[in-house]
Structure 1
Amino acid sequence: MLALKLKHSRVFRSFLISYVLILLIPMLTGYISYLVSSNIIKTSSLEASAMLLSQSKDILDRRMEEVENITRQLSMDQDLNYVMNERVDGDHFNVYAIWKSWRNTAAYSLTNNFLEDFYIYLNNYNVIFTPSGVYVRPEDYYDLFHYEGMNRDQWKQEILGKLHRREVLPSQPFNNNGKKTNVITYLQSLPFESFQHSLGTAVILIDENEIAKMLEHTLTQYSGWAYISDKEGRTIARVGIEDAQIKALHVPDPIDGRTTHTLVDDKTLLISSKSTFNGWKYVIGLPKSNVMKQSVFIAQVTWTITITTLLFGIVAALLLAYKNSAPINRIVTIFREQTGQAGYKAKNEYDFLQGNISTLLASQKSLEDELKQQQPLLEDAFLKRLLRGEFESLQEIRTLLDSMPNMKVKDASGYVAILRINGYSGLVSQEIIHELNAARLLMKKFLQELGSVLQINVTDMDSEKMAILITYDEADASVAAEEIAAVFDRLREHVREEYRMHITIAIGNGFHALSDSSRSFEEARQALDYSVLLDEAQTCWYRCIIKESSSYYYPIDLELRMMNAVKIGELPEVRRIFDGLLEQNFAERQLSADMVMQLFGELKGTFHKLLQHNPFTDQALAEGLKPRVEQLQLSMSLERFRKEILGLLEAFCSRVLRKKEDSTGEMIHKIVSFLEQHYSDADLNLYRVSVAVELPEKYISQLFKEQTGENVSDYLEKIRIKQATDLLFNSEHTIDEISQLVGYNSAHAFRRAFKRVSGVSPSSYRKTVN
């Protein structure tokens, strides 16, 4: 149900959107990295292909330059020039000169693989030199070596009869002694610088396959096609492409010596370059799919990783959003239930919490300010109640003292004094009241500034009287009385000199617990009444006045304090009150036998009153205590009297303590039972335990720690780990499933807790027991 609510929670959606946005950042980074990698691969592939193309271009340029240089050397050959310029009469041949010239020219075929097939035509002799021999009749050469589609007359006219200057003919089909091939023809008239007519023609037949090998080397990695065209756009050589396709490309001419890249139809990458030697254009066409094959592989890997990471990231985002939004939703729900709001009064939960928390803080600040303003009044009221003996127990006094940190009261020994300003009794005019108020304020300030080991607190009794509570540490008890006397002497001297007033100070006997300060206050009151018998204002100590022995001391407030201490089982307090009672009656008074009997009757009546209150109304308890009360007899021995009364008081306190222990044991059992029944709930916490047992969280935590020696959370963890060990031993559940079954939100938290408690990991434990 909670998970369903969270799915529709704005906090859950906010967390989820934030995590998804954070998740998209590395995804976007990965995508950008892929684009950069793809571009780098494309660029490097094109650069590598361009480099190979440039190398092929440079090689071919050198070969063609060598061909041109050879034709220059032929034109400068003396024997060949002699034969070309020799006048020929009829059929007369200078056989030796022709043979010598042929021998010189045949050697050039070894210098360049492009010169394997070449011939030189001499116009005057009408003969053809070839590396393999001399053809006296050109027709015989034509029969063996000729272009397909070019007859003999065209051959003589176009090839042998024209003037050629470094002319290159595109690739043409050629019959090489019966072998079909394609050749590129290089033509140069001899001599080299012939401008009007030539004496001969050097014809070099370059096998297209020789050039194609260079282009194929460039295409080895990515396949594709390539071609070379001359300045006029005629195809010199081609690989993997037809002439019609070349014409349809319309590749722009690159700048001489530079390489350009072009994308055609989004499928083919073109790399073109132009020779600075002869103006030929070199073009390579690479299929984009082949060039980007590595990039496609990287894309597949990248997208696979990206999608997988995205899926896992979304799952993690859902879990984190749930984990982080659940506490906020619970807090919002608690606020809404406690404040009674049916809906949110803000745009979102954060504004709602901020508004409510701000309101709480403002309210708390306002309360603190009000408390600070009321603090002096609260402290004065506390002091008056303390002196009147209105508190039921010492624990109540200590609790209230903890809430008033500014009050200077030590929970130790002390005295109570009453100060009276003499001479104003019965005077009630407005002027006198103002004068007394001012005098009291000045004396309060003076008292608070005096005393090195004393803590002094003052409260007004009426217009002319003040009650003074003096406390000190037990270690300073030996000097306390002297210090008190010195303080009041200085006060009396100060008031007389500065304000012309006389004061009387009455001090009761000392006390050793704040709960007994009311007795000292009552004694100070009696001492003040006694001080009227003195002739002048002075400090009157209760211990110094004459004690009346006509009546016993057992005031109603003292009886109530002792009864309250018994009912809550504070045995030390009970003993202290009872010992103080004995001291007042038997150490400071001389009681008659009748007074002792009456005091004993009052004490016995106190026990009967206790039997009417919880936890002594239970029949089983009363049966044991009531007979003891009835059998209580007065003893003439003070020590025996003390033991009998104190023994009965201890019996009453023991009953209370046992009842408390039984109640505490029952409460601990209830808490343990609830934990054992609900340990599998991942949201189980101290608040839910407190609701179940109907006690405050702080009290439960303290009580459980005192009784068991460990915290509630540690005990719950041990229960969960114990159940987990049983499941690991007796079930086939996975560790993740077990972590959920025993109340953990995540397997990681379960593994850490299991190792912390048992010392080994869950998987190691399962292997060990199996």
Structure 2
Amino acid sequence: MMKLKFKLKLEHSPIFRSFLISYVLVLFIPMLTGFISYYVSSDIIKSSSLEASAMMLNQSRDILDRRMEEVENITRQLSLDQELNYVLNEQVDAEHYDVYAIWKSWRNTTAYSLTNTFLEDFYIYLNNYHAIFTPSGVFVRPDDYFDLYHYQNVDPVQWKQEILGKIHRRETLPSQPFINNGKKTNVITYLQSIPFDSFQHSLGTAVILIDENEIAKMLERIPKQYGGWAYISDKDGHPIARIGIEDAQIKDLNIQELINSKPGNTFVKDKTLLISSKSAYNGWVYVVGLPKSVVMEKSVFIAKVTWTITVSTLLLGIVAALLFAYRNSAPINRIVTVFREQTGQVGYKGKNAFDFLQGNISHLLASQRTLEEELRRQLPLLEDAFVKRLLKGEFDSLQEMRTLMHSLPNLNLKRETGYVAMIRINGYSGLVSKEIIHELNAARLLIKKCLNDLSGVFQLNVTDIDSDKIAILMTLTETANYSEADEMTAGLTELFEQLREYVKEEYRIQMTVAIGGSFQALSDSSRSFEEARGALDYSVLREEAETIWYRDVIKESTTYYYPIDMELRMMNAVKIGELQEVHRIFEQLLEHNFSERQLSAEMVQQLFGELKGTFFKLLQHSPFTDQAVSEGLKPRVEQLQLSTSLDRFRNEVLVLLEAFCSRVLKKKEDSTGEMINKIVSFLDSRYADADLNLYKISTAVELPEKYISQLFKDHTGENLSDYLEKIRIKKATDLLFNSDHTIDEISQYVGYNSAHAFRRAFKRVSGVSPSIYRKTVN
């Protein structure tokens, strides 16, 4: 439910909207390009279709012009035929015909019918004989010919007057119904008087009857291709031939407009594309009508495909834009939310979220630089505070001390063995004034500078203890070659003697130096510091300024040595299970009391009682407070007895200390095991989350991210990310073996953002790709 609310909130966020609008705008750019391409291709298809139809129309026009020109040439040849001219010019006696001349002339004219399909039906009228030649025979009486071949709407008288009686020069009559030996058809009539150049009087007339279907055949390619019609008219608009169109439709056409238009013009009338062409030979107008829907069929198909792809692409693009906008805006929203929660800002400081982030990040970087500068400025103070805590034994554990020491790189602590010395500036005891304080400050600074100049093979860390006292933590440099303690003692004595003499001569400063015993670990430097303090206090009894060693002034003591800081250090080491440190402190305690001192029996008993009290104090602290542990350790503490032998006493105490440390380590290991189990359980339940990261794991188990990563690595021997990858790949192998899901689906099921990342991880862990693994197991 929370996730759903977050998504709804995200979808209404300005960042989400900005990403979504950007992606949608980018999506519309190729779509706009697609629309332009569609309209351009549609125009190309339309123009190419019209150009192809116009080209075929022009081809048909040119062919028909050539055929008509052939007809004209044939009529010209007829007028030049000698036999025919002889008959035409012969003086005819009404009672005596030259039958042989007529037959011979007819035989010559019939051969012309084979040269052109248009001449299949033609006749020649001879004025002098009143006879008609046809390819099939000779009609001596014209009325006999008219009975078989005549125009449906023309009577014999009109036929003789208009066709046979007039002079014709390359005259073409429009299409009209014709009875051809009882069969009805439509013909176009071509008329030419003979001789060819007759103007006042003709000897005969050549009449060529052209079947309209013969002309229509030349145009049928265009209507057949697109399902339209074709039409030819003469220059006056009278029909010559038609195909696929009726007379009523022709009347609706504005033929005169087409006749007067430029060749190749295209008109649209009643969803029909009209293409016209005009013959330069005889002025005929050729008109083709094409259904616009058929011509644009390919364009319509492209439109359907384009719109289908466009709508699908738009829907998929919007879905992708939503996903990308969510994926890219979610991290920015989370960052903005974190900034708002941390800074307490409600709105944006700036125009948008990016300005808001830029401002806050710039502020963070500036703050970081300021902090770094402040840290560099405070670094000497931190180093001084570290040295003070180290000398006073205020660290609870070695881990704390070493962690803090590594964060201070300028500390001169390359080795862990050395001495602690204290310097007192003499002559100022009991004097307190502003001038004295300034004078002591200057003296301390001069002494520190001289120490740095004379340090040589020693690494010195100097800190102020009082206005007239300085403590120096001294260790050897990495290149120092002192192999014996006596050599190091002599070197330190020489160093401080030079220092005392120098400040005395140059600055008239009198000082006393006290040096404690050597330490073998930095955690033991507090003991050397206390020894140096004690030696410095002892030097008050001496009048002269000198260098005093703790071992020279503390010869014997009637009291035992068990300071409170040593007890605290040992208790802290036990509580964190540092057995080696516990051994070292205890051995140091024995050395101080039984090697450097001669204790009486009563003092030994008191020391033993103090140690036993330390154990009882430990029982009051975790992890020794639970009943089961108390019942096991408390009786052992109560039964601890002072042995007569020092070795036996040492062994009994060490065994008990080991028992305490073992309990700490066991509880720490149990706690670690529980934490590891908790982490593993969380990974097993959330491995499918593609956004699973160290932050979510740390939130679930309530531990810091860095600690979780190191803890898991120390306990299991492998990185947390590698373990999560193995879980995912194991789940993936189960799905590959036991399901039919695709590899892309499986990659999402097991928590990968992409199939490519899943394939790489699978091959890295299993040694083969997912597809090969599936084929192998199947």
Aligned in 2, Cα 1:559/1:71: closer, same or farther, shift over 3 Å? Answer: same
1:558 aligns with 566
1:548 aligns with 555
Report the alpha carbon displacement of residue 237 of structure 1 after superposing the two structures with TM.
1.2
What does residue 264 of structure 2 align with?
Answer: 259
Q: In terms of mean alpha carbon deviation, does 584-593 or 41-50 score higher?
A: 584-593
What SS does structure 2 have at the residue aligned with 1:220?
Answer: helix
The question of 1:153 aligning with 2:157 is answered yes
Structure 1 301/743 Cα, relative in aligned 2: closer, same or farther at 3 Å? same
Q: Shift of the alpha carbon at 1:91?
A: 5.3
Render the CA deviation track for 1:515-564: whole Å, top value 9, x for unaligned.
222223333444555677999877x4737734332244432212211111
Q: Show structure 2 runs of 5+ residues with no match.
A: none
Say how many residue pairs are matched: 767
SS in 2 for 1:205: strand
- 1:659-708 residue CA offsets vs partner (Å, 9 max, x unmatched): 22233334444445556667787877655554554433443443344334
One-letter amino acid of the structure 1 residue matched with residue 8 of structure 2: K
Q: Which string of whole-angstrom CA distances, capped at 9 and with x for unpartnered residues, describes residues 622-658 of structure 1?
A: 3333343344344565544433332222222112112
Contact 1:254 1:260 in 2 (8 A): no
Cα distance, 1:113–1:422 mapped onto 2, change above 3 Å:
farther
Q: Is the 8 A contact 2:193 2:205 kept in 1?
A: yes
- Alpha-carbon offset, residue 130 of structure 1: 2.5
**Does residue 77 of structure 1 match 2:71?**
no
Distance (Å, rounded) in 2 between the aligned partners of 1:274 and 1:489: 131
Task: Tell me, in whole angstroms, the C-alpha distance in 2 between the residues paired with 1:497 and 1:235.
Answer: 142
Between 597-606 and 476-485, the greater mean CA deviation after superposition: 476-485
Identify if the C-alpha distance between structure 1 residues 470 and 90 changes in structure 2 by more than 3 Å, giving closer, same or farther.
farther
- 1:57 maps to what in 2? 61
SS at match of 1:237: strand
**CA contact 2:167–2:201 (8 Å) conserved in 1:** yes
1:185 aligns with 2:193: no
Distance in 1 of aligned mates of 2:251 and 2:721: 86
Point out the more displaced range, 540-549 or 49-58: 540-549
Amino acid at match of 1:282: Y
Corresponding residue number in structure 1 for 2:240:
236
- Partners of 1:534 and 1:169 in 2: CA distance: 158
Q: Please say if residues 394 and 514 of structure 1, whose CA atoms lie closer than 8 Å, have aligned partners that are also in contact.
A: no
User: How big is each residue's C-alpha offset from its partner over 1:446-502, in whole Å with a ceiling of 9 and x where there is no partner?
Assistant: 766887876543323344443333445778564794887887788778767876767
In structure 2, the partner of 1:647 is 655
Cα pair distance change 1:157/1:28, threshold 3 Å: same
- Kindly tell me: are residues 461 and 227 of structure 1, through their superposed partners in 2, closer, same or farther at Cα, counting changes over 3 Å? same
* Mapped pair 1:523 → 2:531: yes
In structure 1, what is the Cα distance between the partners aligned to 2:493 and 2:266? Answer: 111
Relative to structure 1, the CA distance from residue 635 to residue 4 in structure 2 (aligned partners, 3 Å threshold; closer, same or farther) is closer
CA separation of 1:144 and 1:561: change in aligned 2, threshold 3 A: same
3-state DSSP class of the match of 1:259? coil
Q: Following the alignment from structure 2 to structure 1, what is the Cα–Cα distance between the partners of residues 171 and 609?
A: 152
Q: Could you tell me whether the CA contact under 8 Å between 2:390 and 2:525 is conserved in 1? A: yes
Q: Measure how far apart 1:604 and its partner are.
A: 3.1
Task: Provide TM-score, normalisation by structure 1.
Answer: 0.84
Structure 2 counterpart of 1:554, one-letter code: Y
Residues 735 and 741 of structure 2 are in contact (CA less than 8 Å); yes or no, is this contact kept in structure 1?
no
Structure 1 residue 397 corresponds to structure 2 residue 431: no
**In the alignment, structure 1 residue 608 sits paired with structure 2 residue 634:** no
Tell me the distance in 1 between the aligned counterparts of 2:251 and 2:497: 129
Q: What secondary structure sits across from 2:224 in the alignment? A: coil
Q: 1:181-220 alignment to 2 at 5 Å? A: 181-220=185-224
1:413-449 C-alpha deviation (Å, 9 max, x unpaired): 4443445556666666655654554564466567668
Q: Which amino acid aligns with 1:194?
A: S
Letter in 1 for 2:530: E
| 2-structure distance, mates of 1:499, 1:96 | 170
**What is the letter of the counterpart of residue 461 of structure 1?**
I
The answer to whether the Cα contact below 8 Å between 1:385 and 1:391 also exists between their aligned partners in 2 is yes
Percent identity, aligned pairs only, is 72
Change in Cα spacing, 1:759 to 1:3, as seen in structure 2 (3 Å) is farther
Paired AA for residue 121 in structure 2: D
- What is the rounded CA distance, in whole Å, between the counterparts of 1:96 and 1:74 in structure 2? 19
1:579 corresponds to: 587
Structure 2 residue identity aligned to 1:547: I
Deviation at 1:227, TM superposition (A): 0.9
2:307 maps to 1:275: no
Distance 1:249-1:494 versus aligned 2 partners, 3 A rule: farther
Amino acid at match of 1:567: K
Write the distance in 1 (CA, Å) between the matches of 2:448 and 2:112: 134
Q: Give, as a single letter, the amino acid of the residue that structure 1 aligns with 2:618.
A: L
* Residues 1:569 and 2:577 aligned together: yes
Query: Once structures 1 and 2 are overlaid, which stretch shifts more, 549-558 or 758-767?
Result: 758-767
Q: Contact between 2:517 and 2:551, CA under 8 Å: does it hold in 1? A: no
Tell me which residue corresponds to 1:665.
673
Classify the secondary structure of the residue corresponding to 2:225.
coil
Give the 3-state SS of the residue equivalent to 1:301 in structure 2.
helix
Report if aligned partners of 2:232, 2:285 keep a CA contact under 8 Å in 1.
yes
Q: 1:680–1:740: 8 Å Cα contact kept in structure 2?
A: no
- Segments of structure 1 that go 5 or more residues without pairing to the other structure are none
- Out of 294, 299, 304, which is 1:295 matched to? 299
> Residue 628 of structure 2 is aligned with which of 601, 620, 625?
620
Shift of 1:399: 2.9
What is the TM-score when the length of structure 2 is the normalising length? 0.83
User: Structure 2 CA distance, aligned partners of 1:77 and 1:451?
Assistant: 145
